[in-house]
């Protein structure tokens, strides 16, 4: 049974995982959907109630029923590097590739549907609440008056995008910023705005979850005005830290409900030691954490991907139950 990795060529994080997979002797096929149909080929037959499918990449052929797991890392746009690329070819190639893979019994990290849903910040906040994770008071609104009233109740606010990265080319992360006390909220009417009570934090927490393995890292906060750790120059570094049992239970519940096998949680730790949920990125980077902390994230991913596939397993085991 083979591990299939969908990612671009220049993905050094995937390289880290492949090293571990190679060490265990598990067969790996790595391909970029962008290389359809030049370098990557596919074929699937539906005859007499049965399906037989194959993928070919780099001269290697693998049967779709022979896949034990599929890692959706950083796949390119289907057929983007074809000799004559077009929207139509991309659509046809994407439907053919993912349509066949969706019919396989392999475990996904992460399934495309779960990944897509997990990107919705308002949905994340609601799910975190339902799993009893502390969520800072938040409003998403196009009503200036609602924003004003919220700012009266919670005078110390940050503003951040609802969706994440700005879709320019290349995409640009939009930093979380503090809201000035005299802010004018009239412009809220022109676009949904996310305002959140600022957590007076003493540390940032990154909790990386791979299946049932939880690896948390902590970074002491810098000066008081530093809000978004991604844009901060901090003297402190990421250090491994234990996951409080209550958080571990809630996070496990979150990932099961979200049907995610991998998630990178960001928390803000306040003066009382409470971890406040900020977000869960289903495709969050982990290389920088692994390098600073020495935590075995890549090895954990390799171990998850290398687990016995559907044909090897005695009892059926779907993607959802894999995070139990």
| The one among 99, 155, 294, 318 contacting a second copy by CB under 8 A | 99
Query: Within 191-210, which residues bind a second copy (CB under 8 A)?
Result: 191-192, 194
Does the N-terminal peptide bond of residue 33 adopt cis geometry, omega within 30 degrees of 0? no
Binding mask 48-67 for a second copy (x = CB under 8 A): xxxx----------------
When asked if residue 85 is in the footprint of a second copy (CB under 8 A), the reply is: no
When asked if residue 46 is in the footprint of a second copy (CB under 8 A), the reply is: yes
Angle (CA) 56 78 321, round 5°? 75
> What is the C-alpha end-to-end distance of the chain, expressed in Å?
22
- CB 164 → a second copy: shortest distance, Å? 8
Cα→Cα distances 142→146, 147, 192, 206, Å:
8, 8, 5, 31
Dihedral over alpha carbons 17, 20, 21, 22 (to 10 degrees):
120
When asked if residue 140 is in the footprint of a second copy (CB under 8 A), the reply is: yes
- CB 180 → a second copy: shortest distance, Å? 21
Quick one: 125 or 305, whose CB is closer to a second copy?
Answer: 125
| The one among 59, 152, 181, 190 contacting a second copy by CB under 8 A | 190
When asked if residue 189 is in the footprint of a second copy (CB under 8 A), the reply is: yes
Quick one: 15 or 130, whose CB is closer to a second copy?
Answer: 130
Neighbouring C-beta atoms of residue 165, cutoff 10 Å: 11
Backbone angles phi, psi at 77, to 5 degrees: -65, 130
| The one among 65, 138, 281, 295 contacting a second copy by CB under 8 A | 138
When asked if residue 14 is in the footprint of a second copy (CB under 8 A), the reply is: no
Residues 6+ apart with CB under 8 A from 255: 209, 261, 263, 323
Give the whole-angstrom CA distance, residue 243 versus residue 22. Answer: 30
Backbone angles phi, psi at 168, to 5 degrees: -80, 180
Binding mask 151-170 for a second copy (x = CB under 8 A): ----------xxx--xx---
Contact residues for a second copy, defined by CB under 8 A: 36-37, 41-51, 79, 82-84, 87-89, 91-100, 102-103, 113, 116-117, 119-127, 129, 132, 135, 137-143, 146, 150, 161-163, 166-167, 189-192, 194
């Amino acid at each position: 049974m083979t591990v299939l990795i969908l990612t671009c060529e220049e993905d050094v994080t995937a390289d880290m995982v492949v090293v571990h997979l190679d060490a265990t002797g598990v067969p790996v096929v790595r391909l970029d959907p962008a290389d359809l149909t030049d370098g990557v080929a596919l074929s699937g037959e539906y005859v007499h109630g049965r399906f037989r499918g194959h993928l070919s990449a780099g001269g290697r052929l693998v049967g779709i029923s022979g896949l034990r797991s599929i890692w959706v890392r950083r796949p390119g746009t289907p057929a983007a590097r074809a000799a004559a690329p077009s929207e139509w070819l991309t659509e046809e190639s994407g439907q053919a590739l993912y349509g066949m893979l969706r019919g396989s019994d392999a475990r996904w990290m992460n399934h495309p549907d779960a990944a897509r849903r997990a990107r919705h910040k308002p949905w994340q906040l609601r799910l975190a609440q339902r799993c009893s994770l502390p969520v800072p008071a938040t409003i998403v609104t196009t009503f200036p008056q609602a924003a004003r009233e919220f700012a009266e109740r919670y005078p110390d606010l940050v503003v951040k995008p609802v969706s994440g990265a700005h879709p320019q080319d290349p995409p640009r992360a939009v930093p979380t910023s503090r809201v000035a006390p005299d802010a004018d909220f009239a412009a809220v009417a022109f676009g949904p705005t996310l305002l959140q009570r600022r957590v007076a934090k003493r540390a940032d927490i990154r909790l990386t979850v791979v299946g049932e393995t939880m690896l948390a890292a902590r970074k002491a906060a810098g000066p008081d005005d530093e809000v978004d750790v991604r844009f901060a120059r901090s003297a402190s570094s990421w250090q491994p830290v234990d996951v409080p049992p209550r958080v571990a239970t809630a996070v496990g519940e979150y990932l099961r409900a979200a049907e995610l096998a991998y998630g990178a949680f960001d928390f803000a730790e306040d003066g009382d030691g409470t971890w406040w949920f900020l977000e869960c990125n289903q495709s969050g980077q982990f290389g920088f954490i692994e390098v600073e902390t020495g935590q075995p994230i890549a090895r954990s991913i390799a171990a998850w991907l290398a687990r016995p596939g559907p044909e090897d397993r005695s009892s059926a085991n779907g993607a959802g139950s894999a995070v139990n």
